[in-house]
Structure 1
Amino acid sequence: MNIWPVQDAKARFSELLATCLRDGPQLVTRRGSEAAVLIPMSEWRRLQKSATPMLKELLLSDEARADLQIPARGRLRRRPSADIS
């Protein structure tokens, strides 16, 4: 992954885009710290699809998304019902 300072990325955007499409993700920095990544559209779609499963996929999935802790039922005493006459 190539690193592009934001000034170079702005000045040579066409080259940045061509490099991204040819070589993959490109990192853009601002004042020396990582700011953004330019990725090809096909990779973006793949990431979006894998990040958010559809409701149908969640409902039909055999695996649970989380472990549910179901508390044991207590032995509560019921109050005697009042006779209504």
Structure 2
Amino acid sequence: MGKQTQLSGSNRPVNPAMSGRWKLEDAKARFSEVVRHAREDGPQRVTVRGHDAVVIMSVEEFERLTPAAPRVPFVNFMEALHLSGLDLEREADHGRDVEL
């Protein structure tokens, strides 16, 4: 059976997999288990010194929460850069003379 690491208010050990909250050292030691629970049971919180620090979640959950970036046509992207103030003129380059 997995290591139980925290105590509840009634001083009973709390299994981090059941609570979805892991102390950093436990999450590091059992990372594959944390990932499995994130994929199967939902986001898992990792605490540092007793305070929530990060959340590990499945990529599907992350993509659901993150808005998709709109795709801008290339011409519109370039026009949006406002490069009209830059001097982009080039001197005519005719190569150089090389003795063979």
> TM-score when scaled to structure 2?
0.49
Gaps of 5+ in 2: 1-18, 73-100
Runs of 4+ in 1 over 4 A off after TM superposition: none
Q: Which has the higher contact order (CA 8 A, sep 6+)?
A: 1
Does the alignment pair 1:43 with 2:61? Answer: yes
Give per-residue Cα distances to partners, 1:48-75, cap 9 Å, x unaligned: 12xx66388xxxxxxxxxxxxxxxxxxx
Evaluate the alpha carbon distance shift between residue 53 and residue 3 of structure 1 in structure 2; reply closer, same or farther with a 3 A threshold.
same
Q: Give the secondary structure class of the aligned counterpart of 2:38.
A: helix
- Percent identity (aligned): 41
2: CA distance between counterparts of 1:23 and 1:42?
Answer: 13
- Number of matched residues? 54
The CA deviation at 1:41 is 0.2
Task: Name which of 5, 15, 31 aligns with 1:13.
Answer: 31
Give the helix-richer structure, 1 or 2.
1
Mark the runs of 5 or more structure 1 residues left unpaired by the alignment: 57-85
